[in-house]
Amino acid sequence: MRTNIPTPSLLLIVVTLLSVAVAVVVMWGATMVPWMGLRLALTPDGSQIQVIGIDDVDSFSEPTPGNGNLLLAIGPHPADPAHPPVVLEPSDITPEPDSFESFAAIDTFFQRQAVLDALLQEPVTLYMQSTYSREPFTTVTYPMTRPFENLPDGFWVQLLAGLAGVLISGWVWALKPGRLGPVLFFIGAGGMALSTTTSAIYANRELAMNADLFRVLVPVNNSGAVIFGLAMFGLLMIYPVRLIRPAWLWLLLVLFAVMATLTFGHIGLGPYQLYLFVAAATLAIFAAIGLQWLATRKRPADRAALGWLGLSIAVGCSAYTVLGAAPVLFDVPFGLPQSHVTGVLVVIYLGLAFGLSRFRLFELGDWAYRVLFYTVGTLLLVCIDAGLVVLLELDNGPALALSLLLVGFLYLPTRDWIWRRITARRRIEQHELFSAALDVAFAPSPAGRASRWRALLTRLFDPLEVTESTDIAAIGVSNDGLTLHLPPAAGSPPLLLAYPFAGRGLFSPQHQDLAEQLLTLVARAEEGREAYMRGVGEERRRMARDLHDDVGARLLTGLHTADETTRPTLQAALSDIRAIVSGLSGEEASLDRVLAETRHEAARRLEAAEIALDWPLPEAEIDAIQLDYRLHKALTSAVREIVSNVIRHSAASRFTVTATLSPGHLTVQFADNGKGLPPAALAGETAGFGLRNLRHRIGDIGGYLTLAAMPAGTTITLDIPLVLQPHTPEPGVPEPPLPLNSPA
């Protein structure tokens, strides 16, 4: 037999329609209260009632009341000796009767409300006193039902706070209707709505209202507050960790029955006992949060959920206790009206709405927002369509078309903006992933690839912890979304990513799919890089063979037949060919051999130019140091260029070279006793290419060249690294792409 289970959207629509019905009833009840067009408040000393605002001066006879006038009494019009005016008391405009000290006082209050309400059903005479002259005067008015637009802001705060709680908690309940946690959360919101909506009717009255209705609304209001407190306490006893068996929650129902009996039967300490319950419930809620904190110490996911939900409940309940209950219990005046105090409770439900995606409260995720948005869109479309048909008297066809346009061009863009703000994570496009994978795979070294891989994961997921692991063969999510397991990739060992998005979220199946896609892209890019490097290696080896077998053989033949003038040039060319062949073959040269060959070539050239060379060998052991081809080629070419400049331009008789070895660097200083360089050459402003190319060659390998003028001659210092660093992009070559979660 098939069971018809209502969908979340259907349940949410039912909750929404129920909320709309409650709002309509509450607004109707508030507008049925007698209204004279005055805004009343107590004088600063609290002894009399004064006018603080007039909504419709024309509804009063002359002389009309003014701001600050005292309202002393109210009587029938015309005057009736059998019904003398009723002298008003400050307690007549008390917004919350449960602040009275005794049940006898509240009974007297309701009796006076009945008398005043009966008077306000007919024209009345207001007995007033002028603010400035202190002279008494009377004015006549005709009370009516309160216009909708004149409902005070306190009414809207209470009504909207209650409905917001019901809608948000109803949304959660509609998604998880079978879970006890969402059910208690929804019950608590229902209790808060009972309390705020009933108070919205009587706490915002002008002077008096129907006493029989008033007598019912006050205990209903108190019962709603009790339901809210008990439901919040019960929720924290079972969520996120179950501290008690669910059967024990029936004791809360017994406690509610006791409180309802005391409230409706006028039994106990007095009306203010409600505020004692509020204070006790707040302390119990804090105790439950403390117990949950201890119970979740080894459960990070539950601790994260408790941190957000517990904070929201604690802030909302504490604010209500301090602003609402404490002033009544301790008889301390407070500037915030009672009608506004209940608005702080909505903090609890707003906190839940914003924390739902981050911490999966009640095991919900981002999909919960999608259900809400689509349901709201459906309701909005129906409401706009009905409004256009009823208010503007449009036909059904044009009204539906206009509704679709409004929803499509206003609601949907707004919904998308809200969705982006809630998720707070930028969508990763396919081309960005591909570019990032290439950037990782084509790093110049294995260590560089591993470093870029970690940096990419950090940009994508922003985890608080990245640790190396072992024996991870496949991607997976564990610890309720706190940890993402990644197998080896890009030269990096297996990794564990924990606490994503700076600890503000959890890994979802979508994040796991993203990581799998990224691993696949990096693997494909690495395969392409390896194929490219194999091709480059083959081509280099072919070129090396051609140079060695063809060009080298021809130079060697020429060397045997050359005269003494040509022989040094051919020997230098053969040396260059050997260096190029070694570089193309990927071979490295030892530093001692490079220095020895360079020293030998320089000595031969300087001897031919009749310049004495002083080049002692370095004292440190350098035979174990191997140089990359680019390094020893740059060093050899630099020495050759410097020697050429000395021979051509210096007119020196002596040339000194000092090589100093330090960790990771080789410093070579060249000094001659010639005529020196002109100031323009020292400043790098010459038109020639020799020194300029020399600077560029040394700079390309991460080294430095320094020129200095001496009293006799010039000093050139080369600082060359012994390990080749990753090549810096040339001007115009794009840098690696922006972080994938950047706001750009």
With a cut of 60, say whether residue 1 has pLDDT above it: no
Average pLDDT over residues 595-619: 83
**How many beta carbons lie within 10 A of that of residue 365, not counting itself?**
19
Handedness of CA 207, 212, 213, 214 (dihedral sign): positive
Average pLDDT over residues 369-385: 56
How distant is the alpha carbon of residue 104 from its chain centre?
54
Min mean pLDDT across 136-145, 215-224, 651-660, 695-704 is at: 695-704
Local structure of 715: helix, strand or coil: strand
Q: What is the DSSP letter of 548?
A: I
d(CA 721, CA 712): 29
pLDDT interval class at 117 (50, 70, 90)? very high
With a cut of 70, say whether residue 392 has pLDDT above it: no
| Single-letter residue type at 251 | L
Average pLDDT over residues 100-115: 92
Where is pLDDT greater, at 654 or 298? 654
- Mean pLDDT, the chain, rounded, equals 78
d(CA 566, CA 562): 6
Are the CB atoms for 85 and 138 separated by under 8 Å? no
- Picking from 143, 192, 144, the residue whose alpha carbon sits closest to that of residue 164 is 192
Q: Which residues are CB-neighbours of 246 under 8 A, at least 6 positions away?
A: 180, 238
Residue-level pLDDT at 252: 92
d(CA 467, CA 293): 27
Are the CB atoms for 65 and 126 separated by under 8 Å? yes
With a cut of 80, say whether residue 563 has pLDDT above it: no
d(CA 633, CA 131): 101
pLDDT interval class at 581 (50, 70, 90)? low
Residue-level pLDDT at 504: 57
Local structure of 194: helix, strand or coil: helix
Concatenated DSSP letters for 130-151? -SSS--EEEEEE--EEPPGGG-
Beta strand 612-614 with 654-662 is: parallel
Write phi, then psi, for 297 (nearest 5 degrees). -65, -25
d(CA 155, CA 26): 10
| Single-letter residue type at 588 | E
With a cut of 70, say whether residue 654 has pLDDT above it: yes
Concatenated DSSP letters for 390-447? HHS---HHHHHHHHHHHIIIIIHHHHHHHHHHHH--PPPPHHHHHHHHHHHHT-SSHH
| Single-letter residue type at 6 | P
With a cut of 70, say whether residue 669 has pLDDT above it: yes
With a cut of 70, say whether residue 586 has pLDDT above it: no
- Annotate 80-112 with three-state secondary structure: ECCECCEECCHHHHCCCHHHCCCHHHHHHHHHH
* Model confidence pLDDT, tens digit, residues 393-413: 666 566 656 666 766 667 667
Where is pLDDT greater, at 597 or 373? 597
Average pLDDT over residues 265-281: 85
d(CA 333, CA 46): 11
d(CA 170, CA 157): 20
With a cut of 80, say whether residue 529 has pLDDT above it: no
Where is pLDDT greater, at 360 or 289? 289
Average pLDDT over residues 628-653: 84
With a cut of 70, say whether residue 512 has pLDDT above it: yes
Residue-level pLDDT at 6: 72
Where is pLDDT greater, at 207 or 559? 207
Average pLDDT over residues 166-188: 84
How distant is the alpha carbon of residue 470 from its chain centre?
32
d(CA 648, CA 715): 16
Provide the CATH topology of domain 588-721. Answer: Heat Shock Protein 90 (3.30.565)
With a cut of 60, say whether residue 535 has pLDDT above it: yes
Where is pLDDT greater, at 160 or 569? 160
Residue-level pLDDT at 742: 34
Q: Which residues pair with 73 in a beta bridge?
A: 87, 127
Residue-level pLDDT at 210: 94
Handedness of CA 369, 371, 374, 377 (dihedral sign): negative
Min mean pLDDT across 138-152, 607-621, 638-652, 697-711 is at: 607-621
Residue-level pLDDT at 49: 94
* Model confidence pLDDT, tens digit, residues 492-507: 888 888 877 765 567 7
| Single-letter residue type at 37 | G
With a cut of 50, say whether residue 250 has pLDDT above it: yes
Average pLDDT over residues 212-230: 93
Considering the domain 8-29+154-365 in this protein, what is its CATH number? 1.20.1070
d(CA 608, CA 247): 106
With a cut of 90, say whether residue 126 has pLDDT above it: yes
Average pLDDT over residues 56-66: 86
Q: Where are the alpha helices (DSSP H) in 547-587?
A: 552-561, 567-584
Q: What is the DSSP letter of 492?
A: B
d(CA 194, CA 228): 9
- Where in 547-664 does DSSP place strands (E)? 589-590, 612-614, 626-627, 654-662
Residue-level pLDDT at 403: 66
Contacts 24+ apart (CB under 8 A), 485-488: 486/457, 486/515, 486/519, 487/519
- Picking from 172, 515, 166, the residue whose alpha carbon sits closest to that of residue 360 is 172
Residue-level pLDDT at 361: 46
Question: Which pair of structure tokens corresponds to residue 521?
Answer: 């892209």
d(CA 693, CA 677): 17
With a cut of 80, say whether residue 109 has pLDDT above it: yes
- Where in 418-556 does DSSP place strands (E)? 465-468, 476-478, 483-486, 495-498
Q: What is the DSSP letter of 2?
A: -
d(CA 742, CA 744): 5
d(CA 320, CA 601): 91
Local structure of 488: helix, strand or coil: coil
Concatenated DSSP letters for 144-182? EEPPGGG--HHHHHHHHHHHHHHHHHHHHHHHSTT-HHH
pLDDT interval class at 456 (50, 70, 90)? confident
Query: Percentage of residues in the chain with pLDDT exceeding 70?
Result: 70
Question: Which pair of structure tokens corresponds to residue 693?
Answer: 């190319």
Are the CB atoms for 508 and 365 separated by under 8 Å? yes
Provide the CATH topology of domain 36-150. Answer: Pdz3 Domain (2.30.42)
pLDDT interval class at 638 (50, 70, 90)? confident
- Picking from 517, 461, 531, the residue whose alpha carbon sits closest to that of residue 489 is 517
**How many beta carbons lie within 10 A of that of residue 302, not counting itself?**
18
d(CA 655, CA 501): 63
Min mean pLDDT across 249-263, 323-337, 520-534, 607-621 is at: 323-337
* Model confidence pLDDT, tens digit, residues 681-738: 666 555 454 677 888 888 888 888 888 888 788 888 999 888 866 554 444 434 443 3
Residue-level pLDDT at 206: 92
